[in-house]
């Protein structure tokens, strides 16, 4: 039981490049989330999903897109990376019964 | 998130003393309030949570209180130990849903 995993762990991009962050969970959780963490800013919600095929915007969605084609996977895309998107990205998941969110190990992204 | 305020931002206590972290929220529909501990370089981990139909919950040295009327909740750690040193985040559910807004965190240092 791996819990929540994220790929990749680290990435360096140049401004304007695109990339996709992958989140996978093996706990059969219905809900999945993408957060970004910046120093002094806490965790800010980017997008979330309440089920396969559904997504919703969070607090800071601009510049990101998401997809949830399978229940266990939640993808975060950056179409044209900007230095302001330099951050640590955490994926999380939770179940209907137990609302506590389980976090993945994070992806450290640097945009030059 | 902007709807959850957390204080203090830093807290230093001596081993054995108690630590209290306070949060306020603005969304009156919020009904779930978890607390997370994040050690340096690690993922946030759920340590305790409380739902809106309960005023207090305790788990060994950790307790959380909730005042729905005043829209604030607090984390209490008794008999602090050096391994309690970490950043603690409070969170509140967005409306009565499953996504969370987080406070900006409290860096707790427990000195021997």
Do B93 and A99 count as a contact with CB atoms less than 8 A apart? yes
Do B102 and A44 count as a contact with CB atoms less than 8 A apart? yes
Three-class SS of A42-59: EEEEEEEEEECCEEEECC
State the residue for tokens 């559904």.
Answer: A54
Give chain A positions within 8 Å (CB) of B5.
none
Report d(CA B104, CA A44) in Å as an integer.
Answer: 9
Walking along chain B (112 residues) 10 residues at a time, the average pLDDT comes out as 86 98 94 96 96 91 96 97 97 87 96 94
Do B98 and A99 count as a contact with CB atoms less than 8 A apart? yes
Give chain A positions within 8 Å (CB) of B2.
59
Q: Note the pLDDT of residue A41.
A: 85
Q: Note the pLDDT of residue B18.
A: 98
Q: Note the pLDDT of residue A40.
A: 84
Give chain B positions within 8 Å (CB) of A47.
none
Q: Which of A44, A90, A94 sits opposite B98 (nearest CB)?
A: A94
* Least Cα separation, residue A22 to chain B (angstroms): 16
Do B46 and A41 count as a contact with CB atoms less than 8 A apart? no
Q: Spell out the residues 6+ positions from residue B31 whose beta carbon is closer than 8 angstroms to its own.
A: B51, B52, B53, B93, B96
Three-class SS of chain B: CCCEEEECCEEEEECCCCEEEEEEECCCCCCEEEEEEECCCCCCEEEEEEECCCCEEEECCEEEEEECCCCEEEEEECCCCHHHCEEEEEEEECCCCCCEEECCCEEEEEEC
Q: Note the pLDDT of residue B1.
A: 46
Q: Which of A101, A102, A104 sits opposite B100 (nearest CB)?
A: A101
Q: Note the pLDDT of residue A75.
A: 98
């Amino acid at each position: 039981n791996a819990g929540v995993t994220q790929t990749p762990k680290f990435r360096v991009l140049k401004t304007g490049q695109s990339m996709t962050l992958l989140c996978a969970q093996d706990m059969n959780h219905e809900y999945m989330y993408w957060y970004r963490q910046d120093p002094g800013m806490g965790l800010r919600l980017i997008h979330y999903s309440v089920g396969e095929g559904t997504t919703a915007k969070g607090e800071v969605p601009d510049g990101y897109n998401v997809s949830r084609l399978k229940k266990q996977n939640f993808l975060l895309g950056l179409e044209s990376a900007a230095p302001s998107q330099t951050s640590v990205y955490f994926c999380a998941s939770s179940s209907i019964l137990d609302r506590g969110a389980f976090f993945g190990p994070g992806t450290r992204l640097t945009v030059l | 998130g902007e709807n959850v305020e957390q204080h203090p931002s830093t807290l230093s206590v001596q081993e054995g003393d108690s630590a209290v972290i306070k949060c306020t929220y603005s969304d009156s529909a919020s009904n779930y309030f978890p607390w997370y501990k994040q050690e340096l370089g690690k993922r946030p981990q759920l340590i305790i949570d409380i739902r809106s139909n309960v005023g207090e919950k305790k788990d060994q040295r950790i307790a959380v209180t909730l005042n729905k009327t005043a829209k604030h909740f607090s984390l209490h750690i008794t008999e602090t130990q050096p391994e309690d040193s970490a950043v603690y985040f409070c969170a509140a559910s967005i409306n009565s849903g499953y996504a969370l807004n987080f406070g900006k965190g409290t860096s707790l240092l427990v000195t021997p």
